[in-house]
Structure 1
C-alpha cells in the first residue's frame, strides 16, 4: 500500500454515521440551496472567530475573489502577497483585474517577510494579502502598521490556517477580512469544494452576500455588478457544521503528529518546521527541508512512500505569470526554499504505524546520503 501525504478514508469510517446523517438531514429539509444549514454554519463559524459575519461560498479561490471585490480591489490596483503559495492566491488577484506584487519570505518559517513589504509598495498598492501558509500565521503587527501608514486594507489568506493562533488571535480575525478554503485536504475540509469569508464590516458583508448571488439583494433583481454564482451548498454546510464541533480534536491530533515527527526525525539532517514567536501552529502541512530533496523523494518510492512538494514552482516563475516581469533570482529565499522543501504525511487520522513507516524510511534514506 502506497503511503501518501493525505488520506481521508480512516476519518470517514470514524465519522461515517454523522456524515450520512448530515446528508439525510439536508435531503429531508426541503431546501437544498442557501437554507438553514448554510445559515447555521455561517453563524457558528463567525462565532468561532469572534467576528460579525461569515459569508460562505463555493470554493476557496472564489472566497479570495469575492473578498477582493468586496474590499474594492480591481483593475489598476496592486496587491502585495508572496510567491511561495498555492497558485489560487495569485489567480484570484488576477481574476479581479489587479496586479500581484511579491515580497520575499523568511527562511525560518516560509512566511511573508513583513520587513520587505514597504519596499514594494507603490501609489497603486491598495491591499496587503498575507498567506498564513502551512498552518502558521504571518507576523501581523508590523504588517498592519505598514497598512495603516499607507492606507491599505489587509486580506488574510487563511486557506491553510484553520484554528491557527497569533498572539492569542485566531487566523482570519486580524485583517479587514479573512478568506478560507474547505477543500477536502484542509484542517476543516468538506467532501468537495467550499469556502468562506469572515469580516466584522457590515458593508463588506452586504457586498459579499450580493456578489455570491449574481449581484442580487432580493431574488431575481440584480442590484449591482459584477455578480457570481458562488454558493456553498446545504450538504457541505451541514457536514462542515458537524466537523466544526470536532475542529479542536483535529488540531490536537495534528499537533500530536507534529511532535512525533520532531522526536523521530531529530538529528537526521532534515530542517524541521519551527513555530514562530506568538504562534500556535495548526499543521495543515508538515514541511521539511533538505538540499537533496529530489533524491530523497526518489529513494522513498522504494518504500512505497510518495510525498508532495508544496510548492515546487514559485508563482513568479510560472509561465502563466511571465507578464509580471519577475526573473529568476528576484525572490532568492522563495526560490531556494522551492528547491529544498517537501511535505510529510499530515492529517488528523494518520496512524502511528504509517507515521513510523515514514520516519523509519526517512532515517534510512538520510543515513545513506
Structure 2
C-alpha cells in the first residue's frame, strides 16, 4: 500500500536531531513556552518575512486569537469561504461573530476576490482568505478591497508553510496570518501546535496576553484570556524541522511536477499553480468525476487517497444554521464533489509515483472526465 502520507519516513530522516532536541527540553524542564519556543518564534517570523510570531497550542487557537485581536465579536461579521476545514468557521463562531461565506475561484479553490464587495457590510471586521492545499489566495486584490473598506486581512495559512505570492511568503501577506503545525502539515510538530504571525506590534502584544490568560506580568490579568500556550517540546521539534522546510517543499514541488506531466492525459484535472504563486502542495488534489468510485478503485489497487473536503462547511450539520451565505457556492460544491488527494510527501520514491500514475490511468479508462 502506498500511503497518502508517511510521517515515520520523515522522522527517520532526522531522528537524531529530533531526539536530541526533545531530550534537551526534558533536561531544561521548560515544558511550556521557554527558550525553545521563543527561539522558534523568532526564526519562524523571520522565515515568513514578518516581525513577530506568537506560538500557540494549535492552528485553531491561532485563528481564534487573531480574530479576537481584529475585533471580531458579537454583532460583527468575518468573510471567509466554505471550502476549508471547519476550524476556519468554528474560530469565527468562538468569538461570537457571524461567518459570512462566499464562493471560490474555479482554478484554485481559494477565495474569489470578485465576490468580496457584495459580502461587505457595516458589521464586517475582517476578511479571512484560506490558502488552500498549499497555494495562496489572490492577495493583491483581497488587500486592495480590505484597505478600501478599512478591514483587516487574516491569512488562514494552515496549509501553506513556505508558499509564496509574487516572491513574498505566506505569513507576510496580510495583517496577521495563522498557521497550524499539525503533524501532517509541511511543517508539522510532534503533536498539536500553531502560530500567529504579524508585523503589527500592538496586535502581537495583545495576542501574547490572550494566549496566556490575558496576563501582563505574573498574576496581572488585564484581558480575559486563554490557556493557548505552546509546549516547549513542540517549539524544539519545529526548530529542527524548519531548517528542512524549503528542501521538503522543493521535493513536494518536484513530485507534483511529475504528476502533472504524467497525468495530463489521464482524464483528470490536475491542480493549477496560479500566476505569481509558488505552490507547496500540502496535498496534491486532482479533480475527477465519479470521485468516490475512483477512490475505491485506487484503494483496491493499493493506493491510499484523501478528500479535502467532501462536505463544505455550509452543509455541515453543526454549522449550516450558524453561517451566512452570500451568493452561489456552486464552485465550492464542485470542488467538494470532485477533489481527490493523491499520495504526496517529500520521501515518496519515483517508483511509487509511477505506480500511482499507472493505477490512476487504469482506473480512469472507464471513467468519464
* TM-score normalised by the chain length of structure 2: 0.97
After superposition, the Cα gap between the structure-2 partners of 1:176 and 1:328, relative to the gap in structure 1 and judged at 3 Å, is closer
Matched ranges for 1:66-77 at <5 A: 66-77=65-76
Query: For 1:363 and 1:328, how far apart are their aligned partners in 2?
Result: 39
For structure 2, the 5+ residue unaligned runs are none
- Displacement of 1:160 after TM fit? 0.4
Q: Is the 8 A contact 1:128 1:152 kept in 2?
A: yes
Query: For 2:227 and 2:3, how far apart are their aligned partners in 1?
Result: 34
Q: Could you tell me which residue of structure 1 aligns to residue 336 of structure 2? A: 338
* SS state at 2:74 partner: coil
Query: For 2:28 and 2:68, how far apart are their aligned partners in 1?
Result: 33
- Displacement of 1:301 after TM fit? 2.0
Matched ranges for 1:7-46 at <5 A: 7-46=6-45
RMSD: 1.4
Query: For 2:82 and 2:106, how far apart are their aligned partners in 1?
Result: 14
Of 353, 362, 365 in structure 2, the residue corresponding to residue 364 of structure 1 is: 362
- Displacement of 1:323 after TM fit? 1.5
- Displacement of 1:68 after TM fit? 0.7
Q: Could you tell me which residue of structure 1 aligns to residue 308 of structure 2? A: 310
After superposition, the Cα gap between the structure-2 partners of 1:207 and 1:326, relative to the gap in structure 1 and judged at 3 Å, is closer
Q: Is the 8 A contact 1:329 1:335 kept in 2?
A: no
Q: Could you tell me which residue of structure 2 aligns to residue 295 of structure 1? A: 293
Query: For 1:235 and 1:344, how far apart are their aligned partners in 2?
Result: 31
Q: Could you tell me which residue of structure 2 aligns to residue 229 of structure 1? A: 227
- Displacement of 1:351 after TM fit? 2.0
Aligned length: 367
Matched ranges for 1:159-170 at <5 A: 159-170=158-169
After superposition, the Cα gap between the structure-2 partners of 1:326 and 1:81, relative to the gap in structure 1 and judged at 3 Å, is closer
After superposition, the Cα gap between the structure-2 partners of 1:326 and 1:68, relative to the gap in structure 1 and judged at 3 Å, is closer
- Displacement of 1:336 after TM fit? 1.5
For structure 1, the 5+ residue unaligned runs are none
Q: Could you tell me which residue of structure 1 aligns to residue 142 of structure 2? A: 143
- Displacement of 1:329 after TM fit? 8.7
Q: Could you tell me which residue of structure 2 aligns to residue 183 of structure 1? A: 182
- Displacement of 1:325 after TM fit? 6.3
Summarize deviations over 1:262-289 as a string: whole Å, max 9, x none: 1221201110011101101111111101
* SS state at 1:67 partner: helix
Matched ranges for 1:99-178 at <5 A: 99-178=98-177
Query: For 1:294 and 1:332, how far apart are their aligned partners in 2?
Result: 19
Query: For 2:102 and 2:360, how far apart are their aligned partners in 1?
Result: 33
In the alignment, structure 1 residue 349 sits paired with structure 2 residue 352: no
Q: Could you tell me which residue of structure 1 aligns to residue 3 of structure 2? A: 4
After superposition, the Cα gap between the structure-2 partners of 1:167 and 1:262, relative to the gap in structure 1 and judged at 3 Å, is same
Higher mean Cα deviation, 246-255 or 27-36?
Answer: 27-36
* SS state at 1:297 partner: helix
- Displacement of 1:327 after TM fit? 8.0
* SS state at 2:305 partner: coil
Summarize deviations over 1:136-187 as a string: whole Å, max 9, x none: 1111111111111111110000000000110111111111100000000101
After superposition, the Cα gap between the structure-2 partners of 1:327 and 1:138, relative to the gap in structure 1 and judged at 3 Å, is closer
Query: For 1:292 and 1:34, how far apart are their aligned partners in 2?
Result: 47
* SS state at 2:92 partner: helix
In the alignment, structure 1 residue 212 sits paired with structure 2 residue 194: no
* SS state at 1:81 partner: strand
Summarize deviations over 1:203-253 as a string: whole Å, max 9, x none: 11111111010111111221211x110111111101100111111111111
Summarize deviations over 1:80-101 as a string: whole Å, max 9, x none: 0000011111110111111000
* TM-score normalised by the chain length of structure 1: 0.97
